[in-house]
Amino acid sequence: MKSEKERVRIADIAEELGVSTATVSNVIHGKTKKISDRTVRKVQQLLEERQYIPSMAGILLAQNDSKIICVVINDHEKYEKRVLQDAFVVGSIDYLAEVIEQTGFFMMLKKTDNIQDIVRYASMWNMAGLVLIGFCEQDYEDLRDRMHIPFVVYDGFAKEVDRYAIIGIDDFAGGYQMGNYLLQMGHEKILFAADNDESMDHERYLGLQQAVKEHIEKESGADGAEANFLLLPMQKEERMLFYQNHMDMIKSHTALFCASDAYAIELMNYLIDVGMKIPEDISIVGFDDIPDSTIVRPRLTTVRQDMKQRARMTMEVLSAWRDGTPFEKNIRLPVNVVERDSVKNIQKHS
């Protein structure tokens, strides 16, 4: 801790950057509407380098007596304006609401497909912090440059995390574990289905590929093992036609690994409707372990993530930010395979 004699002053920061003391003061207090993004970043960086404050957002949060935590959900086009009907999103909100209330805060909910809406929305309310569900790495960086309310990304992906925090899961490990499970069950032709090949879904596919690669290296006669990628359309109506047009590709594999339980259940229902039996004709697995995965028949084998732990860690990080205590910025929680009834054991016995 710097003594009063050593403490850096606003005037020192202003002089070093060649800006006015008013500009530095406005950046500290979040009044950046008339200041360029470049200047804001320069001031923020020097303030932290000179230890004027240990954390821009941390000090602002500590000075803020608000009890509002705003949960912002990306209303992505794939949800077709029904994001609050998605089982994963609803489950996440449910756990977040419980933890936020237990820690003495109140939850506010906002959905949008435009990251800039968050800046406008935050300016209308006195918020203690934000929790983001969805969006992308560039969105997080843009948001951090435009406002100083601390935020935690509950469901998202970024290669480098700075000036915010991500509470994620080990997506690569999830793909790897499921890949190993399917291979142990005798499936060497695995088709991975997702609506994108980026971020979290990409990591899950890479994990699957690694499992297949190691299987080929270890097992004699496994040269034909493969993990292929099926890129699904975002819109449900288009997916139904897509499944119909790609039946030959689907049937050429013994197991389908869907990037989410929602897609696994949708695809399972489609295949049953066209006369296929699960898992007798083809095995299907998902990712997330949403409640519906135990309701469908056959019950869905999937990769489980602990959403309650994820919600708890989200509030722990925001609380640490508020108290000015150190916290990990990029947290990856463990996952595990939950075996149910949607995978057939075709392992060959000698």
The model's pLDDT over 200-253, given as tens digits with 9 standing for 90+, comes to 999 999 999 999 999 999 987 778 899 999 999 999 999 999 999 999 999 999
Q: What is the mean pLDDT of the chain?
A: 87
Would you give the DSSP letter of residue 7?
Answer: P
Task: Region of 324 please: left (phi>0), alpha (psi -120 to 50) or beta.
Answer: left
What the block records as the tokens of 197 is 């090949």
CB 287 within 8 A of CB 280: no
Of 349 and 213, the structure prediction assigns the larger pLDDT to 213
CB 151 within 8 A of CB 129: yes
- The pLDDT score that the predictor gives to residue 255 is 98
- The pLDDT score that the predictor gives to residue 54 is 41
- The pLDDT score that the predictor gives to residue 25 is 81
Buried b or exposed e, range 9-27, using 16+ CB within 10 angstroms = ebeebbeebebeeebbebb
Residues 6+ apart with CB under 8 A from 187: 254, 255, 283, 343, 346
For residues 85-93, average pLDDT: 92
What strand order describes the sheet that includes 226-231?
226-231, 189-194, 255-258, 283-285
The confidence band for 269, taking pLDDT boundaries of 50, 70 and 90, is very high
Q: Which of 160, 212, 156 is nearest to 189 (CA)?
A: 212
- The pLDDT score that the predictor gives to residue 2 is 44
Structurally, at CATH architecture level, domain 171-305 sits in 3-Layer(aba) Sandwich (3.40)
Question: Rounded to 5 degrees, what are φ and ψ at 231?
Answer: -85, 115
Q: How far is CA 293 from CA 33, 264, 300, in A?
A: 47, 9, 5
Of 118 and 193, the structure prediction assigns the larger pLDDT to 193
The confidence band for 272, taking pLDDT boundaries of 50, 70 and 90, is very high
Global pTM reads: 0.79
Does the pLDDT value for residue 300 go beyond 90?
yes
- For 111-170, the pLDDT digits (tens) are 998 887 888 777 777 788 899 998 888 888 888 877 778 889 998 777 777 778 899 999
Q: How far is CA 158 from CA 153, 282, 333, 335, 348, in A?
A: 10, 34, 15, 19, 41
Neighbours of 241 (CB within 10 A): 11
Q: Which of 196, 272, 279 is nearest to 234 (CA)?
A: 196
Does the pLDDT value for residue 274 go beyond 70?
yes
CB 233 within 8 A of CB 240: no
- What is the location of CATH 3.40.50.2300 in the chain? 64-169+307-334, 171-305
Residues 6+ apart with CB under 8 A from 90: 84
Does the pLDDT value for residue 61 go beyond 50?
no
Q: How far is CA 257 from CA 47, 113, 250, 330, in A?
A: 48, 28, 11, 27
Please determine, looking at this structure, whether the domain spanning 64-169+307-334 carries the CATH number 3.40.50.2300.
yes
The confidence band for 348, taking pLDDT boundaries of 50, 70 and 90, is low
What the block records as the tokens of 51 is 């230890």
- Single-letter code of the amino acid located at 101: E
Neighbours of 255 (CB within 10 A): 28
Q: What percent of the chain has pLDDT over 70?
A: 92
Does the pLDDT value for residue 56 go beyond 80?
no
Q: What is the β-pairing status of strands 335-338 and 189-194?
A: unpaired
Q: How many helices (H) and strands (E) does the chain have?
A: 13, 12
